[in-house]
Structure 1
């Protein structure tokens, strides 16, 4: 059996047989495990903190994270211990078989992770946007993604007959051309990524928002297009799958294969984490402002933060005013907290309070065909005259 390498390639491999990418493999597969695990855990914590409940998109992202961890674990377990990251001429036949077996397991996890991330994003769209036409488009896209995922998974299962011919070079069998299959998977994946991440943009631009806010929302939803860049770069290293020096060229292919689903996971987790934390900080600031306003007896100065909060509370109509002392006290009810009995009684009786005779006096005003007079004494009314009584402070 002849060598798959030309004399020039053999000379190059001999000169570089001590080169190693093992350290690169370790960080390439360790960083995604840490990043995906932490971001997904923070996502669940943020959802629990916001009391929004765990929804379908959360379960799908959790499953995608598990698949990504399976990818990285198979890369670490079947890779460096069996010669991955070294040139094939220094790797034994058994270790070459183990690297190919690891690649088979890795590929299944990769396909499942991609499908789960896409479905998680679509489930999020379905939950957030209620437009019926858009929801039908989301469901149609999800159906296509499910069919696409089933198709590539079944094809990978039937890649070789018998199956062990995929990793064992000593077994005679018929196999698909894996480079062609990988190209198809990568290109179709790139097209669906672009479609999914651009889907909500028309919906955003039909919202009644300022242009600046529409641009910001569109940018947030299009952050996932960064994963399309990774998919495009991965296309440039697909040929490494058919290289005879596969133990060396699997390294960049595996790196892009784990960072692609990682990008999708991060793009769905980080906006939710940021939104929930911002919402939490806003609630804390409102609570702090309530406590300061409730406990302070000093009148807030014009332009101060307390003054701005007081004006905001006045605008909402949730302020009680003590007219006898010429100062206002804001009473705000937050998160099902109830005012005390004295405050509640004062709120109920404020409109029905009778004037204190020591503070208030009665002035009778008589309208006399456009002329007005006021006195503390009774005025003799003529026919057609009208009398009203005002309560004013002395």
Structure 2
């Protein structure tokens, strides 16, 4: 018989509150993610699919946690009847299964996002390597989990002839693998990021955005300590609730972390104009100074032509398309042109083609060419 809300354990109440609050917050971040995708008029990519899968896995875990909470999760083992104890054992199996799938999906979502952002061949080779490690993690640990007890029902209904491995070994191996993979996913883009020609402030901002996952690494370390204490205690149902609470925070924060880097279009559409009105600069905006010039572009509205000044290409209403339609730049915030004018006569060499009474401008343009792939721009 299930417990009432007043009869559940103190840890069960904490888990109940954490699940409800973070479910609402996570749904909010997912909605913002897909609203940003709509603003930029892009289709769904693999990173979007994986983050949805991770949320589904966490939702299943949340339902199982509620089931366990109202069947004595967090209470001392001697206070539970046989039916409630059976529920706790089944909950342990369900939570391990959904946790493994959820954490793997979060890592694959971030790695697929890296694949869209960074296009250098060297980085992509390393990215594929880490992806392969995550896939190997799934292929290795899921069969191990499902064969920890043979038959599977030996978990909650022991029978003569059945057997079970020591689950502590599996739990610690899972924690170690997650720790290593999370660290690899977080460190992977940092060398490329810090080699970009960006201000220190922008680099620190982007680094902080990607480094939210370090919180999940801290949670993994905490979870490993609690897991050892739980498995080594005969009163394991009392501390199992805390393990579930830590795993819940780890999954929710992981989903939020992979959503934050995709919110740029939403920020540019709604927050950037507010900051501009307040006179605040945003990341990537050219700072005022004598060296910055404005890009002068021609745009069209119907049949009328106009000329305007823009500090960034994404502030323009122009749509630039190459002749073969292989490159298309729109107002999605993915393009920027800022000119810098400097005067250093001691360090410049005057060529014969240069007149003595003119101003000479040299512009270095760095670009990347992608063969025509419609999904990049639609």
TM-score, normalised with respect to structure 1: 0.67
Aligned match for 1:86, one of 75, 96, 101: 75
Are the aligned partners of 2:73 and 2:241 in contact in 1 as well (CA < 8 Å)? Answer: yes
1:166–1:194 CA distance, 2 compared to 1 (3 A): same
Confirm whether residue 108 of structure 1 aligns to residue 97 of structure 2.
yes
For residues 226-270 of structure 1, give each alpha carbon's deviation from its aligned partner in whole angstroms, at most 9, with x where no partner exists. Answer: 110111111110121343212211111001111112111111112
Confirm whether residue 202 of structure 1 aligns to residue 182 of structure 2.
no
Aligned residue for 2:86, secondary structure, equals helix
For residues 100-139 of structure 1, give each alpha carbon's deviation from its aligned partner in whole angstroms, at most 9, with x where no partner exists. Answer: 1121112111000010000001001111000101101111
1:27 matched to which residue of 2? 17
2:21 and 2:194 map into 1 onto residues whose CA distance is 37
2:260 and 2:205 map into 1 onto residues whose CA distance is 15
User: Structure 1 residue 203: deviation in Å?
Assistant: 0.5
1:160 matched to which residue of 2? 149
1:52–1:247 CA distance, 2 compared to 1 (3 A): same
Larger Rg: 1
1:158 and 1:187 map into 2 onto residues whose CA distance is 20
Which ranges of structure 1 fall in alignment gaps of 5 or more residues?
Answer: 1-16, 289-307, 320-327, 338-394
Which ranges of structure 2 fall in alignment gaps of 5 or more residues?
Answer: 1-6, 278-287, 300-305, 320-378
Aligned match for 1:257, one of 244, 247, 255: 247
Aligned match for 2:236, one of 241, 246, 257: 246
Aligned match for 2:203, one of 207, 210, 214: 214
User: Structure 1 residue 144: deviation in Å?
Assistant: 1.1
Confirm whether residue 129 of structure 1 aligns to residue 109 of structure 2.
no
1:114 and 1:257 map into 2 onto residues whose CA distance is 10
Are the aligned partners of 2:74 and 2:238 in contact in 1 as well (CA < 8 Å)? Answer: yes
Aligned residue for 1:83, secondary structure, equals coil
1:379 matched to which residue of 2? none
Are the aligned partners of 1:164 and 1:171 in contact in 2 as well (CA < 8 Å)? Answer: no
For residues 33-57 of structure 1, give each alpha carbon's deviation from its aligned partner in whole angstroms, at most 9, with x where no partner exists. Answer: 2222221122111211221321110
Are the aligned partners of 1:201 and 1:218 in contact in 2 as well (CA < 8 Å)? Answer: yes
1:46 and 1:171 map into 2 onto residues whose CA distance is 57
2:109 matched to which residue of 1? 120
More helix by share: 1
2:266 matched to which residue of 1? 277
1:216 and 1:334 map into 2 onto residues whose CA distance is 25
1:81–1:169 CA distance, 2 compared to 1 (3 A): farther
User: Structure 1 residue 201: deviation in Å?
Assistant: 0.6
Aligned residue for 2:234, secondary structure, equals coil
Aligned residue for 2:198, secondary structure, equals coil
1:65 matched to which residue of 2? 55
Task: Give runs of aligned pairs for residues 257-336 of structure 1, distance below 5 A.
Answer: 257-273=247-263, 275-281=264-270, 316=296, 318=298, 335=317
Aligned residue for 2:70, secondary structure, equals helix
Aligned residue for 1:316, secondary structure, equals strand
Aligned residue for 1:51, secondary structure, equals coil
Aligned match for 1:97, one of 86, 101, 112: 86
1:75 matched to which residue of 2? 65
Are the aligned partners of 1:223 and 1:267 in contact in 2 as well (CA < 8 Å)? Answer: yes
Are the aligned partners of 1:40 and 1:65 in contact in 2 as well (CA < 8 Å)? Answer: no
2:113 and 2:9 map into 1 onto residues whose CA distance is 46
User: Structure 1 residue 149: deviation in Å?
Assistant: 1.1
> What's the Cα RMSD here?
3.1
User: Structure 1 residue 283: deviation in Å?
Assistant: 7.9
1:330 and 1:313 map into 2 onto residues whose CA distance is 13
1:329 and 1:36 map into 2 onto residues whose CA distance is 44
1:276–1:74 CA distance, 2 compared to 1 (3 A): same
User: Structure 1 residue 172: deviation in Å?
Assistant: 5.5
1:257 and 1:219 map into 2 onto residues whose CA distance is 22
For residues 126-180 of structure 1, give each alpha carbon's deviation from its aligned partner in whole angstroms, at most 9, with x where no partner exists. Answer: 1100010110111111011101111111100101011111122466621111111
Are the aligned partners of 2:89 and 2:156 in contact in 1 as well (CA < 8 Å)? Answer: yes
2:268 and 2:298 map into 1 onto residues whose CA distance is 22
